[in-house]
Homo-oligomer: A and B are copies of this chain.
Amino acid sequence: MNIGQVAARTGLPAKTIRYYEEIGLIRPMRGENGYRHFSERDAHNLAFLGRARSLGFTIEECRVLLALYADQGRASADVKRVASEHLAQIDAKIAELREMRATLADLVEACAGDHRPDCPILRGLAGEDG
């Protein structure tokens, strides 16, 4: 498979696939013309990467997951630890966003949103009272 075909199959942009090779996540073969040649296994790994990335795993976590995936002797505990840590990260991020959202929603709600200049949002950002 050429890069275009594997891109179409995995949904990943060709640019991204080249980047993944550059940082050593995949190692496709090369044809005589210099074109990358992707095996079924490569395509499979790229799909794996696409799913892991879409779940928010960092590239380095993906590298670890891919290594565990390739290792037939892995302990599922190792995989679970990586995933659990990422889950905790997601929870932390959600909590952070919810706090932002709560504060911002209060300010937005308090704002008349009309032609007048008085604005609780700006007052809040300026540090009035609280």
Nearest-neighbor residue (CB-CB) of A105 within chain B? B87
Copies in the complex: 2
Write the nearest CB–CB distance from A43 to chain B, whole angstroms. 11
A91 at the interface (CB under 8 A from B): yes
Query: B126 to A44, Cβ gap below 8 A?
Result: yes
> Which chain B residues lie closer than 8 Å to A100 at the CB level?
54-56, 90
1/0 per residue, CB under 8 A from B, across A46-73: the answer is: 0110011011100000000100110111
The chain A residues found within 8 Å of chain B, CB to CB, are 44, 47-48, 51-52, 54-56, 65, 68-69, 71-77, 79-81, 83-84, 86-87, 90-91, 93-94, 97-98, 100-101, 103-105, 107-108, 111-119, 121-122, 124-127
